[in-house]
Amino acid sequence: MQPIALAVIGGTGVYNLATLDDVQTHEVETRFGTPSGPIRVGSLLGHRVAFLARHGEGHSLPPHKINYRANLAALQQIGASRVLALNTVGGIGDDFGPRVLACPDQIIDYTWGRISTLCEEAGSDVLHVDFGHPYTPMLRSKILAAAKVTGVTVRDGGCYAATQGPRLETIAEIARLRRDGCDLVGMTGMPEAALARELGLDYACLAIVANWAAGCGDGEEITMAEVLSNVQAASNGLPELIGELARG
Protein backbone atom coordinates (compact mmCIF):
# COMPACT_ATOMS: atom_id res chain seq x y z
CA MET A 1 0.00 0.00 0.00
CA GLN A 2 1.27 3.49 -0.90
CA PRO A 3 2.02 5.73 2.09
CA ILE A 4 -0.30 8.65 2.78
CA ALA A 5 1.20 11.57 0.87
CA LEU A 6 -0.88 14.26 2.50
CA ALA A 7 -3.59 14.71 5.12
CA VAL A 8 -6.13 17.49 4.69
CA ILE A 9 -8.24 18.94 7.50
CA GLY A 10 -11.31 20.67 6.11
CA GLY A 11 -12.87 23.68 7.82
CA THR A 12 -16.28 25.34 7.65
CA GLY A 13 -17.86 24.64 4.25
CA VAL A 14 -15.33 21.94 3.31
CA TYR A 15 -16.73 18.66 4.62
CA ASN A 16 -15.30 16.25 2.05
CA LEU A 17 -12.95 15.97 -0.90
CA ALA A 18 -15.38 14.96 -3.59
CA THR A 19 -12.57 14.11 -5.97
CA LEU A 20 -11.12 11.30 -3.81
CA ASP A 21 -11.40 7.88 -5.50
CA ASP A 22 -11.48 4.41 -3.92
CA VAL A 23 -12.26 5.86 -0.52
CA GLN A 24 -11.69 3.82 2.61
CA THR A 25 -13.03 4.95 5.96
CA HIS A 26 -11.00 4.78 9.15
CA GLU A 27 -12.66 5.18 12.55
CA VAL A 28 -9.64 5.89 14.73
CA GLU A 29 -9.33 6.07 18.52
CA THR A 30 -6.33 7.86 20.01
CA ARG A 31 -4.77 8.29 23.44
CA PHE A 32 -6.43 11.71 23.45
CA GLY A 33 -9.89 10.38 22.62
CA THR A 34 -12.03 10.39 19.48
CA PRO A 35 -11.42 12.68 16.49
CA SER A 36 -14.14 14.87 14.97
CA GLY A 37 -15.26 12.08 12.64
CA PRO A 38 -14.09 9.32 10.36
CA ILE A 39 -10.95 9.79 8.30
CA ARG A 40 -11.56 9.19 4.59
CA VAL A 41 -8.51 7.95 2.74
CA GLY A 42 -8.56 7.79 -1.03
CA SER A 43 -6.67 8.42 -4.19
CA LEU A 44 -6.32 11.92 -5.63
CA LEU A 45 -4.60 12.18 -9.00
CA GLY A 46 -2.78 8.93 -8.16
CA HIS A 47 -1.69 9.84 -4.62
CA ARG A 48 -3.06 8.66 -1.28
CA VAL A 49 -4.70 11.53 0.54
CA ALA A 50 -6.48 11.48 3.92
CA PHE A 51 -9.33 13.84 4.72
CA LEU A 52 -10.87 14.79 8.07
CA ALA A 53 -13.68 17.32 8.58
CA ARG A 54 -12.54 19.44 11.57
CA HIS A 55 -16.06 20.30 12.75
CA GLY A 56 -17.44 16.83 11.94
CA GLU A 57 -19.06 15.92 8.64
CA GLY A 58 -22.33 17.53 9.74
CA HIS A 59 -20.57 20.59 11.24
CA SER A 60 -21.71 19.64 14.73
CA LEU A 61 -18.63 20.76 16.72
CA PRO A 62 -17.99 24.41 17.59
CA PRO A 63 -14.34 25.54 17.52
CA HIS A 64 -13.80 25.33 21.30
CA LYS A 65 -15.21 21.77 21.47
CA ILE A 66 -13.01 20.27 18.76
CA ASN A 67 -10.60 17.62 20.04
CA TYR A 68 -7.60 19.04 18.15
CA ARG A 69 -5.23 16.60 19.82
CA ALA A 70 -7.27 13.56 18.78
CA ASN A 71 -7.65 14.85 15.21
CA LEU A 72 -3.91 15.26 14.68
CA ALA A 73 -2.94 12.11 16.58
CA ALA A 74 -5.45 10.10 14.50
CA LEU A 75 -3.96 11.38 11.25
CA GLN A 76 -0.49 10.53 12.52
CA GLN A 77 -1.64 7.07 13.64
CA ILE A 78 -2.80 6.15 10.14
CA GLY A 79 0.57 7.20 8.75
CA ALA A 80 0.26 10.85 7.75
CA SER A 81 3.23 13.11 8.40
CA ARG A 82 2.17 16.21 6.41
CA VAL A 83 -1.01 18.13 7.16
CA LEU A 84 -2.66 20.78 5.03
CA ALA A 85 -5.07 22.72 7.22
CA LEU A 86 -7.92 24.41 5.35
CA ASN A 87 -9.27 27.23 7.50
CA THR A 88 -12.26 29.38 6.67
CA VAL A 89 -11.52 32.92 7.81
CA GLY A 90 -12.58 36.53 7.77
CA GLY A 91 -10.39 39.06 5.97
CA ILE A 92 -8.91 42.05 7.83
CA GLY A 93 -6.06 43.26 5.60
CA ASP A 94 -7.01 45.19 2.47
CA ASP A 95 -5.51 42.45 0.26
CA PHE A 96 -7.49 39.69 1.99
CA GLY A 97 -11.02 40.16 0.71
CA PRO A 98 -13.69 37.47 0.26
CA ARG A 99 -12.67 34.51 -1.97
CA VAL A 100 -8.96 35.15 -1.55
CA LEU A 101 -6.84 32.08 -0.76
CA ALA A 102 -3.89 32.83 1.51
CA CYS A 103 -1.03 30.87 2.97
CA PRO A 104 -0.29 32.70 6.23
CA ASP A 105 3.14 32.63 7.84
CA GLN A 106 2.35 33.92 11.34
CA ILE A 107 -0.22 33.44 14.09
CA ILE A 108 -1.41 35.39 17.11
CA ASP A 109 -3.41 33.25 19.51
CA TYR A 110 -6.36 34.94 21.25
CA THR A 111 -8.10 31.69 22.23
CA TRP A 112 -8.51 30.61 25.85
CA GLY A 113 -9.50 27.53 27.80
CA ARG A 114 -8.55 25.04 25.09
CA ILE A 115 -6.19 22.13 25.67
CA SER A 116 -3.23 23.50 23.78
CA THR A 117 -0.44 21.03 24.50
CA LEU A 118 0.23 17.31 24.56
CA CYS A 119 1.75 17.69 28.03
CA GLU A 120 -1.53 18.22 29.83
CA GLU A 121 -1.66 14.98 31.77
CA ALA A 122 0.28 14.56 35.02
CA GLY A 123 3.58 12.84 34.38
CA SER A 124 3.84 13.79 30.70
CA ASP A 125 7.08 15.39 29.54
CA VAL A 126 6.95 19.18 29.30
CA LEU A 127 7.62 20.32 25.74
CA HIS A 128 8.89 23.79 24.86
CA VAL A 129 8.86 23.45 21.09
CA ASP A 130 10.22 26.19 18.86
CA PHE A 131 7.23 28.01 17.33
CA GLY A 132 8.84 31.13 15.85
CA HIS A 133 7.70 29.97 12.43
CA PRO A 134 4.39 28.34 13.35
CA TYR A 135 3.80 26.81 9.92
CA THR A 136 6.38 24.42 8.46
CA PRO A 137 8.34 26.63 6.02
CA MET A 138 9.03 23.77 3.56
CA LEU A 139 5.36 22.79 3.38
CA ARG A 140 4.38 26.44 2.86
CA SER A 141 6.83 26.62 -0.06
CA LYS A 142 5.33 23.48 -1.53
CA ILE A 143 1.80 24.86 -1.25
CA LEU A 144 2.86 28.03 -3.05
CA ALA A 145 4.67 26.02 -5.73
CA ALA A 146 1.64 23.74 -6.22
CA ALA A 147 -0.57 26.82 -6.53
CA LYS A 148 1.69 28.22 -9.23
CA VAL A 149 1.75 24.96 -11.22
CA THR A 150 -2.03 24.61 -11.09
CA GLY A 151 -2.76 28.27 -11.81
CA VAL A 152 -4.49 28.89 -8.47
CA THR A 153 -3.85 32.35 -7.01
CA VAL A 154 -2.66 32.09 -3.40
CA ARG A 155 -1.36 35.05 -1.37
CA ASP A 156 2.00 34.35 0.21
CA GLY A 157 2.06 35.30 3.90
CA GLY A 158 -0.14 37.02 6.41
CA CYS A 159 -0.82 36.84 10.10
CA TYR A 160 -3.68 34.63 11.28
CA ALA A 161 -5.55 35.73 14.41
CA ALA A 162 -7.09 32.78 16.23
CA THR A 163 -10.17 33.92 18.17
CA GLN A 164 -12.33 31.96 20.57
CA GLY A 165 -15.74 32.15 18.86
CA PRO A 166 -18.15 30.70 18.17
CA ARG A 167 -19.57 34.19 17.84
CA LEU A 168 -18.01 36.52 15.31
CA GLU A 169 -15.99 39.50 16.55
CA THR A 170 -17.03 43.05 17.39
CA ILE A 171 -15.81 45.92 15.20
CA ALA A 172 -13.58 47.07 18.08
CA GLU A 173 -12.07 43.60 18.44
CA ILE A 174 -11.22 43.47 14.74
CA ALA A 175 -9.76 47.02 14.90
CA ARG A 176 -7.50 45.76 17.69
CA LEU A 177 -6.46 42.71 15.67
CA ARG A 178 -5.62 45.02 12.76
CA ARG A 179 -3.47 47.17 15.07
CA ASP A 180 -1.78 43.97 16.24
CA GLY A 181 -0.81 43.26 12.64
CA CYS A 182 -3.33 40.50 11.84
CA ASP A 183 -4.55 40.01 8.26
CA LEU A 184 -6.93 37.09 8.75
CA VAL A 185 -9.22 35.97 11.56
CA GLY A 186 -10.51 32.49 12.26
CA MET A 187 -11.45 30.32 15.21
CA THR A 188 -9.64 27.05 14.60
CA GLY A 189 -6.02 27.84 13.73
CA MET A 190 -5.00 27.34 17.35
CA PRO A 191 -4.17 25.18 19.18
CA GLU A 192 -4.06 23.00 16.05
CA ALA A 193 -0.81 24.46 14.69
CA ALA A 194 1.00 24.22 18.04
CA LEU A 195 -0.14 20.65 18.62
CA ALA A 196 1.04 19.66 15.14
CA ARG A 197 4.48 21.06 16.03
CA GLU A 198 4.52 19.13 19.32
CA LEU A 199 3.59 15.95 17.45
CA GLY A 200 6.38 16.53 14.92
CA LEU A 201 3.99 16.84 11.97
CA ASP A 202 4.69 19.09 9.00
CA TYR A 203 1.77 21.49 9.04
CA ALA A 204 0.69 24.54 7.04
CA CYS A 205 -2.52 26.47 6.49
CA LEU A 206 -4.41 27.42 3.38
CA ALA A 207 -6.89 30.03 4.52
CA ILE A 208 -10.10 30.59 2.55
CA VAL A 209 -11.46 34.10 3.05
CA ALA A 210 -15.24 33.82 3.37
CA ASN A 211 -16.16 37.39 4.37
CA TRP A 212 -14.80 40.75 5.42
CA ALA A 213 -14.24 40.68 9.18
CA ALA A 214 -16.47 42.97 11.25
CA GLY A 215 -16.10 46.61 10.24
CA CYS A 216 -13.81 45.83 7.26
CA GLY A 217 -14.60 46.09 3.55
CA ASP A 218 -18.20 47.08 2.92
CA GLY A 219 -19.05 46.71 6.62
CA GLU A 220 -22.13 44.62 5.81
CA GLU A 221 -23.59 42.09 8.24
CA ILE A 222 -21.92 38.69 7.92
CA THR A 223 -24.27 35.84 7.05
CA MET A 224 -23.64 32.09 6.98
CA ALA A 225 -25.04 31.99 3.42
CA GLU A 226 -22.35 34.47 2.30
CA VAL A 227 -19.65 32.50 4.12
CA LEU A 228 -20.63 29.20 2.50
CA SER A 229 -21.06 30.57 -1.02
CA ASN A 230 -17.68 32.33 -0.92
CA VAL A 231 -15.95 29.22 0.41
CA GLN A 232 -17.49 27.16 -2.38
CA ALA A 233 -16.47 29.66 -5.06
CA ALA A 234 -12.92 30.00 -3.69
CA SER A 235 -12.47 26.22 -3.45
CA ASN A 236 -12.83 25.49 -7.18
CA GLY A 237 -9.13 25.00 -7.80
CA LEU A 238 -8.41 23.12 -4.58
CA PRO A 239 -8.56 19.51 -5.88
CA GLU A 240 -5.84 20.22 -8.48
CA LEU A 241 -3.74 22.18 -5.99
CA ILE A 242 -4.06 19.42 -3.36
CA GLY A 243 -3.27 16.73 -5.96
CA GLU A 244 -0.16 18.60 -7.02
CA LEU A 245 0.88 19.09 -3.38
CA ALA A 246 0.42 15.38 -2.71
CA ARG A 247 2.69 14.63 -5.68
CA GLY A 248 5.66 16.59 -4.38
Consult the annotation and say whether 19 binds a ligand: no
Number of Cβ within a 10 Å radius of residue 222: 15
Euclidean distance between CA atoms 89 and 12, whole angstroms: 9
Contact between 89 and ligand HPA per CB under 6 A: yes
Residue 88 sits in the site that holds ligand HPA (CB under 6 A) = yes
Q: Min. distance of Cβ 229 from ligand HPA in angstroms?
A: 13
83 exposed, middle or buried (CB, 10 Å; 0-12, 13-18, 19+)?
A: buried
CB nearest ligand HPA: which residue? 90
The values of phi and psi at residue 108, to 5°, are: -120, 130
Q: Which stretch binds ligand HPA (CB under 6 A): 31-39, 110-118, 161-169, 175-183?
A: 161-169
* Residue 186 touching ligand HPA (CB under 6 A): yes
Q: Cα 76 from chain centroid?
A: 16
Binding status of residue 35 toward ligand HPA by CB under 6 A: no
Chain positions 222 to 241 lying near ligand HPA, rule: CB under 6 A, are 222, 227
102 binds ligand HPA (CB under 6 A): no
Name the site residues for ligand HPA (rule: CB under 6 A).
88-90, 163, 168-169, 185-187, 210-211, 213, 222, 227
